[in-house]
């Protein structure tokens, strides 16, 4: 049994301008000890997906199936999902400065989560907080536990956020852009910390990012999202060596390369992400797609392409898959 | 921290001095003659001249002002010879009307004003915070809309209308209580409450409406903060998420506003006190204005300014205590 099995997950919410289908039916699986990277631009539905898995997307209609360790979470009573949150599924948010409470000390915030799920004395919870702060490499954790988030540096704050997630020994961690707010050098440290803890504890990890470099560093599997749907899904090494979807190729092509000839401009995917209010018909990517521009097919504008198996463990949602690979 | 306090206290002293000077100047520009005021109706021209001399009104304005300010701290002796009267610290002079020391007059009236302000504050906090919180947590439901429409209506009610309506319905039509008159708390606590309840409601309603709207907005804003989402992601119960993580930051601006409002009201709610004939500082001020009783008006203006600037400082200190990010510099 997989740790997390998501099938046909869709999230729709009402806005003043009309209903928005932020996620339009995606599937993925996370195994214990493995890392799934979800990559996509802002607005591709990756953060909404993570909140929907946690049952934290308030005011949105979530359909489909999210099975955690065999238990269905969609439609489950709020109280039973709440007991899983923090305890078995923990989240690491993007900007720890706003995600941690400014009024309470770091130690308090970790101890609070621990006591909620494990009970016990305040003292034991404090001790646990200091212990995990030490685990994530915060020097002098007993003293730092008594400080407030604004007294931490960005990297230390994100470590504290990870300590908070680890404090209850969860089985799954969902990290939503955990390194985006950090300096590049600190990014690497925090990623290594996250990957190290994941390995050491045998956790399932869902890593949401727009940064392919981050994916390359620690993901086992990758799900590329575009316009609320899955564009391509593959093992990480395959995705980087043999990408199939024109969007994935565009993303990889737009990575800056040190070995590029001097004077060559950075490449970008033309156009901008689709409006969630009025997505284009058919494949959401076709207005920006180089393959469509060249080999334009009515298939691309007729129906939303479904993921099809193109190689072992490799799925691609492109009507022109044969063209691209042929 | 010490430096902060010192700077702020100096600032307060400066502010009060400026207010004092402005008030002083305003009275100097007024056409009424304090000496004639003090002397009374059947006063001969000679006697007015004598009073002017006694009161030091012939001295240059700056000297009079200096004497006034110094008098507050050191006391002063008015007049000379057999007419000399010593006015001890803190000396705000004597009322032209009653001849009583202004300080004693104000001290006398302070309990009624404080009773009105504090009681009303308790009432408007209870009403405003609960209505605002309810509205925020039931956002965009009929509960929220009802509360919001009601608060607009209530906030628009003039105090004298509310007071008259309450008096008419409660006292005249229903006969639930006799016309309220102020009874000191020390004398009869139950009577104190019974007689103040209508003034409290009158004063609290408008504030409650404003506080409800402010609380609602503040709670809605705070509940959308990432740290509230984190609290939920930790698996905390919703009650705790709202009560501990959401409400505390949401109430910080409310606490700030409360400090300012209370500071302003301690020196008297002019209209409410007058409407209910409460012997408060506000009523004293209204009466003194009618009679151009300069020393009393000066005294109350300073007292009110003192309360306002002090409550400002208290608000800053409380804020720093609630929010660890606030630095006292």
- B236 interfacial to chain A (CB closer than 8 Å): yes
Share of chain A above pLDDT 90, in %: 56
Q: What are the backbone dihedrals phi and psi of residue A212, each rounded to the nearest 5 degrees, phi first?
A: -65, -25
Selected residue of B233, B236, B240, B251 to mutate for chain A interface (largest A Cβ count, 10 A) = B233
Read off the pLDDT of residues A209-234 as tens digits, 9 standing for 90 and up: 988 888 888 899 999 999 999 999 99
Q: Which residues contact B67 (CB under 8 A, 6 or more apart)?
A: B56, B59, B76
> Are A240 and A218 found together in one domain?
no
Tell me which of A168, A197, A226 is where a domain ends.
A226
According to DSSP, residue A313 is labeled T
**Res A292 pLDDT > 90:** no
Among the partner-chain residues B226, B236, B324, the one whose CB lies closest to the CB of A98 is B226
**Res B325 pLDDT > 90:** no
Q: Where are the domains of chain B?
A: 2-87, 105-322
pLDDT band at B83 (very low <50, low <70, confident <90, very high): low
> Are A24 and A134 found together in one domain?
yes
> Are A165 and A266 found together in one domain?
no
Question: Within the 240-279 window of chain B, which residues sit less than 8 Å (CB to CB) from chain A?
Answer: 240, 245, 248-249
> Are A220 and A255 found together in one domain?
no
Distance from CA of B241 to the nearest CA of A (A): 11
> Are A238 and A258 found together in one domain?
yes
The pLDDT value recorded for residue B191 is: 85
The pLDDT value recorded for residue B48 is: 79
> Are A99 and A144 found together in one domain?
yes
Read off the pLDDT of residues B160-186 as tens digits, 9 standing for 90 and up: 899 899 989 988 888 888 888 888 888
In the predicted model, what is the mean pLDDT of residues A168-190?
90
For domain B105-322, the CATH class is mainly alpha
The pLDDT value recorded for residue A248 is: 92
Instruction: Report the C-alpha gap between B146 and B206 in whole angstroms.
Output: 16
If you measure CA to CA, which chain A residue comes closest to B235? A85
Tell me which of A171, A199, A226 is where a domain ends.
A226
Read off the pLDDT of residues A4-40 as tens digits, 9 standing for 90 and up: 999 999 999 888 888 888 999 999 999 999 999 999 8
The pLDDT value recorded for residue B78 is: 67
Distance from CA of A310 to the nearest CA of B (A): 37
Selected residue of A86, A169, A177, A180 to mutate for chain B interface (largest B Cβ count, 10 A) = A86
Is ipTM > 0.85 here? yes
User: Could B233 and A103 be called an inter-chain contact, meaning their C-beta atoms sit closer than 8 Å?
Assistant: no
> Are A114 and A246 found together in one domain?
no
If you measure CA to CA, which chain A residue comes closest to B222? A101
**Res A326 pLDDT > 60:** no
User: Could B233 and A85 be called an inter-chain contact, meaning their C-beta atoms sit closer than 8 Å?
Assistant: yes
pLDDT band at B254 (very low <50, low <70, confident <90, very high): very high
* Mean pLDDT for all residues in chain A: 90
Distance from CA of B226 to the nearest CA of A (A): 5
> Are A235 and A109 found together in one domain?
no
**Tokens 């492109």 map to which residue?**
A318
> Are A237 and A176 found together in one domain?
no
Read off the pLDDT of residues A228-278 as tens digits, 9 standing for 90 and up: 999 999 999 999 999 999 999 988 888 887 887 888 888 888 888 888 888
> Are A168 and A261 found together in one domain?
no
User: Could B245 and A101 be called an inter-chain contact, meaning their C-beta atoms sit closer than 8 Å?
Assistant: yes
> Are A150 and A21 found together in one domain?
yes
B324 chain-A contacts, CB cut-off 8 A: 102-103, 148, 150
**Res B321 pLDDT > 80:** yes
CATH label of the domain that carries residue A59: 3.40.50.300
Q: Which domain holds residue A217?
A: 4-226
> Are A239 and A308 found together in one domain?
yes
Tell me which of A210, A226, A242 is where a domain ends.
A226
Residues of A in CB contact (< 8 Å) with B are: 54, 56, 82-87, 90-91, 93, 95, 98-103, 112-113, 116-117, 148, 150, 164
Read off the pLDDT of residues A72-128 as tens digits, 9 standing for 90 and up: 999 899 999 999 999 999 999 988 899 999 999 999 999 999 999 999 899 999 999
3-state secondary structure chain B: CHHHHHHHHHHHHHHHHHHHHHHHHHHHHCCCCHHHHHHCCCCCHHHHHHHHHHHCCCCCHHHHHHHHHHHHHHCEEECCHHHCEEECCCCCCECCCCCCEHHHHHHHHHHHHHHHHHHHHHHHHHHHHHHHHHHHHCCCCHHHHHHHHHHHHHHCCCHHHHHHHHHHHHHHHCCCCCCCCCCCCCCCHHHHHHHHHHHHHHHHHHHHHHHHHHHHHHHHHHHCCHHHHHHHHCCCCHHHHHHHHHHHHHHHHHHHHHHHHHHHHHCCCHHHHHHCCCCCHHHHHHHHHHHCCHHHHHHHHHHHHHHHHHHHHHHHHHHHHHCCCCCCC
């Amino acid at each position: 049994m997989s740790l997390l099995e998501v099938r046909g997950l869709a999230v729709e919410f009402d806005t003043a301008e009309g209903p928005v289908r932020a996620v339009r039916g995606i599937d993925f699986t996370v195994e214990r000890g493995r890392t799934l990277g979800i990559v996509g631009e802002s607005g591709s539905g990756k953060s909404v997906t993570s909140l929907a898995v946690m049952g934290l997307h308030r005011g949105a209609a979530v359909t489909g199936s999210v099975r955690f360790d065999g238990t269905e979470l969609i439609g489950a009573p709020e109280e039973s999902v709440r007991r899983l949150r923090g305890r078995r599924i923990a989240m690491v948010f993007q900007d720890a400065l706003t995600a941690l409470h400014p009024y309470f000390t770091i130690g308090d915030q970790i101890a609070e989560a621990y006591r909620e799920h494990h009970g016990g004395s305040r003292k034991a919870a404090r001790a646990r907080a200091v212990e995990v702060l030490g685990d994530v490499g915060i020097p002098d954790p007993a003293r730092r536990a008594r400080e407030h988030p604004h007294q931490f540096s960005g990297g230390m704050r994100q470590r504290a956020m990870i300590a908070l997630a680890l404090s209850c020994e969860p089985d799954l961690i969902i990290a939503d852009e955990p390194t985006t707010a950090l300096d590049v050098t600190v990014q690497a440290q925090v990623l290594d910390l996250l990957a190290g803890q994941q390995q050491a504890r045998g956790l399932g990890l869902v890593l949401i990012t727009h940064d392919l470099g981050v994916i390359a560093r620690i993901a086992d599997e990758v799900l590329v999202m575009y316009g609320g749907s899955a564009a391509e899904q593959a093992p990480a090494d395959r995705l980087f060596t043999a990408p199939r979807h024109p969007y994935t190729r565009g993303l990889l092509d737009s990575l800056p390369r040190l070995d590029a000839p001097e004077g060559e401009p950075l490449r970008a995917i033309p156009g901008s992400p689709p409006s969630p209010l009025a997505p284009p018909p058919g494949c959401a990517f076709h207005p920006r797609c180089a393959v469509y521009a060249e080999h334009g097919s009515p298939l691309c504008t007729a129906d939303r392409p479904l993921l099809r198996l193109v190689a072992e463990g490799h799925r691609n949602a492109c009507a022109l898959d044969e063209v691209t690979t042929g | 921290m010490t430096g902060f306090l010192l700077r702020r206290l100096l600032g307060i002293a400066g502010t009060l001095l400026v207010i004092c000077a402005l008030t002083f100047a305003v009275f100097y520009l007024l056409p009424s003659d304090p000496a004639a005021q003090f002397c009374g109706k059947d006063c001969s021209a000679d006697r007015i001249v004598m009073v002017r001399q006694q009161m030091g009104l012939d001295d240059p304005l700056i000297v009079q002002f200096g004497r006034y300010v110094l008098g507050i701290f050191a006391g002063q002796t008015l007049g000379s010879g057999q007419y000399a009267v010593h006015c001890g610290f803190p000396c705000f002079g004597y009322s032209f009307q009653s001849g009583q020391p202004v300080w004693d007059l104000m001290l006398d009236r302070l309990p009624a004003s404080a009773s009105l302000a504090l009681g009303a504050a308790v009432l408007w906090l209870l009403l405003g915070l609960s209505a605002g919180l309810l509205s925020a947590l039931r956002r965009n439901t009929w509960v929220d809309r009802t509360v919001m429409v009601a608060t607009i209506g209530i906030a628009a009610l003039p105090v004298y209308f509310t007071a008259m309506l309450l008096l008419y319905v409660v006292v005249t039509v229903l006969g639930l209580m006799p016309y309220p008159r102020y009874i000191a708390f020390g004398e009869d606590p139950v009577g104190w409450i019974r007689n103040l309840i209508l003034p409290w409601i009158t004063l609290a309603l408008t504030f409650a409406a404003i506080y409800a709207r402010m609380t609602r907005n503040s709670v809605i804003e705070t509940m959308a903060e990432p740290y509230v989402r984190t609290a939920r992601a930790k698996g905390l119960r919703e009650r705790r998420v709202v009560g501990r993580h959401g409400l505390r930051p949401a109430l910080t601006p409310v606490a700030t506003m409360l400090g300012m409002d209370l500071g302003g009201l301690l020196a008297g709610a002019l209209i409410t006190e007058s409407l209910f004939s409460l012997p408060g500082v506000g009523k004293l001020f209204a009466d003194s204005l009618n009679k151009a009783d300069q020393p009393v008006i000066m005294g109350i203006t300073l007292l009110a300014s003192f309360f306002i600037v002090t409550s400002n400082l208290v608000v800053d200190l409380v804020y720093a205590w609630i929010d660890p990010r606030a630095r006292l510099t």
